[in-house]
Each structure stands twice: as C-alpha cells, then as structure tokens.
Chains A and B, each alone.
Chain A
Amino acid sequence: MISTSLTPLEVTLRAKRDAGRKLLVPYVTGGLKGWTDAIRAAAANGADVIEIGLPFSDPVMDGPIIQQASQRALDDGATPVSILEGVRTLDVDVPLVVMCYYNTVHHAGHERFASQLFQAGIVGAIIPDLPLEESGPWCAAADAVGLATIMLAAPTAPDERLPRVCARARGFVYSVGLLGVTGERTELAATASQLAKRLKKITDVPVIIGVGVSNSAQAVEACKVADGIVQGASVVRRLMEGGPDAVGTYVAEVRAAIDATTV
C-alpha cells in the first residue's frame, strides 16, 4: 500500500531500492567524541541514511555498547540542542534521521521538537519506546513538517498488527532483527529474516533490518530478504575504539560486501 503522501526520505529510499541498491544505515551516537567526523566518514563511504542517536539517561532498547556511548556523550555535556547544532554544520549529502527515546520528544513538546529537527535538516525520526497506539500526537506533528516517522516492527507482532504498523511507517520500516536490545551478536538471529519476509509480503515501504546485524557477513545475509540494514553497535564500538576513520573503513567494507551480492 502506498502511503498517502511520500516523505522526501521515502522518495529517495524507494528510488535507490528500485534501482537495485541495498540500503546501508549506520548509526552514530550524537555527542560521542568524534561523532560529526564519523558521520562524514560514513557518508563518504557508502551510507544511504545515517541514524544519529540522541543520548538518553535510560535507554531501555540499548545494550552495553550504545549505553556506554550514550553515557559518555551525556558526561561530555551533550544535549539534543547541542547535537542538532552539530548537525547543522555537517554538510553531508546523505539523509539524516534521529533515534531518540520518547521523553526527549515529550519534554520538548511534539510540535516544537518536530520543528527543531526539521530546521536542523533532519528528515526522519525513530522513537523505539513509542509504539503504534501511542504514536498519534507525535506522528501528526511530524507529518505536518514532512518529517518521516520510521515505525519499528517487532518479531513478536501478530499478523494482524504488521499491516497497521506498515501503514503508519514513513521513510522505511525498521524491522527489529531479534528479541532483545541493540548489541553485536555472533550470528544473525533467525527472526531477522523471518520478520523481514513477513513485512516484504505486505508493504512496499522499504524494509530495513536493525538490531543485531553485527558485521558485513550478517549484513549480506539480512539483505537477501530485506531492502537494507542498520549497523548500530558495530559502528559505535569502532568509533569508541578507533575513531572516525575506523567507522569509514567499516562502512566501506559493509558497502562493498552488500554491493558484491546485488550485482
């Protein structure tokens, strides 16, 4: 089903997908040392969208790596305002979305937050603790400024629920790869491909697997079914260990791996 009005993000992503490209979405924790350079490096090495995390005090969907990154960023004084200021200086060519917990939105106010994001050049938002039933007021504010609300779909969702999630998704559907929080795993969970398959059957919105896609081999496997992947903890760990250059190298590696299988 085609959404009533496609957001700019979705127009871009559909065009790339329809041209045969798998979509690569690296995640970078905003405010973490080197984060703006990491975003530039990811953009220069083949990212199609970059997800910027706004650190929150109580990140319940995140495992140890992103928790630690969020805490470091907060300790360094990062705020949503300081991160959005950083975003304005980025001059990258790749669409930018934010990942933030709902209290950040709620506290700022829906309209105000949507307009702050829009003015900083952000084109979409992922709010992992805002499920479909609670998403109305935020979605209305986001829709009003053309900001894509990227809905998450979970492996636990019954068949009856998924079409409703997809109908509300703008930009892409975030297909949660496993039962659990963000973090690197030794193998891609079976649930990752299963859920993406279910979603592909019922929606034309790009389906991107995130959570637990941990290296280029897993990215390739996930892209057999999905339109793309999010790389979260694996990117953030490299930023903390090796700095922005390590992020660039890693994104290039994943890009090459998924491109090699699509030609």
Chain B
Amino acid sequence: MTGSPLIEVEDLRIDLDDGSRRVPAAEGVSFRIDRGETFGLVGESGCGKSITALALIGLLGSPLSIGGGVIRFEGRQIQNLSAARQRELRGNRIAMIFQEPMTALNPVSPVGRQIAEMFVLHKGKSWREANQLAVEALASVRVPAPERRVKDYPHQLSGGMRQRVMIAIALACGPDLLIADEPTTALDVTVQAEIIELMRNLCAERGTAILMISHDLGLVANVCRRVAVMYAGRIVEERGSADIFRAPSHPYTQGLVDSLPRLGSRAALGRSRLKEIAGVVPAITNFPDGCRFNPRCAQATDICRTTAPQTDGLEAGGFVRCHHHA
C-alpha cells in the first residue's frame, strides 16, 4: 500500500504581498507523502505550517500566493488546475479538519445533513441515499445512537463529539489524504487522545494518508512515521519520527526535543522548569540573513550569519539544513 508517492511538493515558495513588495513566507519547502503514510509537520506558531497546507488544497488567498515550485498529486501537477478541478479534489480526494470544532460546523444545520451534503456534492448521491450514508458515517466515528444524533444541531454536541462529526465529514468521501491542522488543540487532554486514536485507526483501515500539523512534536511523533520540522518558513529537518527523538540533528530540533516533558521525569511533574529555546521567532518581513535560526542558535558561527545552509542528506534517511549539524 505504501511506497507510491501520493503528494509531492518540490521547492515550494509562498509569497506574502505586503502592499509594496513580495516577501517569501515559506520557501524551499519540499516533502513527499506516500499512499497511506502518516507525515507530520511541526514548528512554532507562524512558521508557515498552515499556509503550506492551504497551498496544497489550492486555497491560498490574497495577500498570499504560490511564488514558485511544484505540487503533484498522484503524479499530476495540481497548483495550476482550474478552480472547478481543484474543487473536485477538495473534500473528495484531499480532506482537511481544523483546530476549531466549535466553529467549523454550520450552527443552523443538523449535523447529519452536513455529512450527507458531502455525498450529494462529490458522489452524486440522492439525498435519500446520502442521509442513510450519513448515519453510517456517524457510526464509523463511534458516535452512539447515530440514527438519532444525525438530527442534532452542533450546539447540542460536546466538543469531542463535534470533532468526531468533523472527522466523519472529512472522511465521508474516502479521501486519499487527510490534512489535520492542529485537530485537537481546542479539546481537553483525554478527549484529545481519543480523537487522535480514532483518526489514526480510521485512516489506517482505509489507507488514507495523514498530514498532521501541530506545534507539539511529541504528539506528531506519536502518530506519524515521518516528521518535518519547520522554522521561519523553511523545513530544517526531516526524519523518521523515532530517529528525530533519539538523535535530533538540527540545533532547533534539539531544542524542541529538550523542551518536551519526559514521562516520569521531574519536569513532567512540574518541579523543574522545562528547557526552553531562548529568543523569539523572527517576523516574516525581517528574516535574518544566512541561517534564519542563527540569532537563537548556540552553535552559530560566522558562516551561519552570511550563508543560508543547504539541505544535507542523512545516512539513515531524511535531511537536515544546518552548517554544523550533529
């Protein structure tokens, strides 16, 4: 099932038009997700994760636009498709769920109808068939008494239930890729774990690939086979998730791993402070020259301040973008 590339991104650049000039909000972004694979994208707030996802589904709106590079889905270039063609992909072949289950559902429409609409829209089903399929879809995300729940309005459901409904909607048409942009941040921890588990199991059953976006490296590494770490619009390291934990190569990744609470450690119990990465993320319009991490990097040398590092392949697979990587 895995092995053949589903989506390939090559040297993607996303421009931000700030009125007078175009600044790259993301550049040199390359990755590949195979069929049925789980791939994670991690980084601090504002590093460009969400805009990368939006670029994949063709929904970058002004002031953002694709400034270069190639996006291929099943070997076909998709970034220049007509609006109608892109719409056929969205929700049907590539689906996405968001952070906010509270607001992502239409408040005046019963949830069953919102699921059924996907079958009508993308699969050409009649409303009768679609309503039946909606009940099945709700059952598949383990919502109890689905034939009654389909008539409920979103405000009658808890946050966890709403996120299950969102997953049912996203997976309704059997997409090949599910993009999950911080799918559980708004939920409390126990519900979070349930939802992630559900999403992972359903996708594994159906062979749906996952692109999971989060700033929580621990969470992503748990779900995903491979992880890309993004910093200030560039992917700085991409590895198997086990490797990245055991031996992070990039100084930024090392910082991220060090800042994670380990199970049973004193830090997890809150008795000592977690190690944090000093400094702040630079603003898009004000990226430093050379390596963008250099103002915060303990290993930075002169070359880091003048020359941007290129990607360096690693023996165990993956790559890192650093002049002095481990």
Q: Do A and B bind each other?
A: no
B residues apposed to A, CB below 8 Å? none
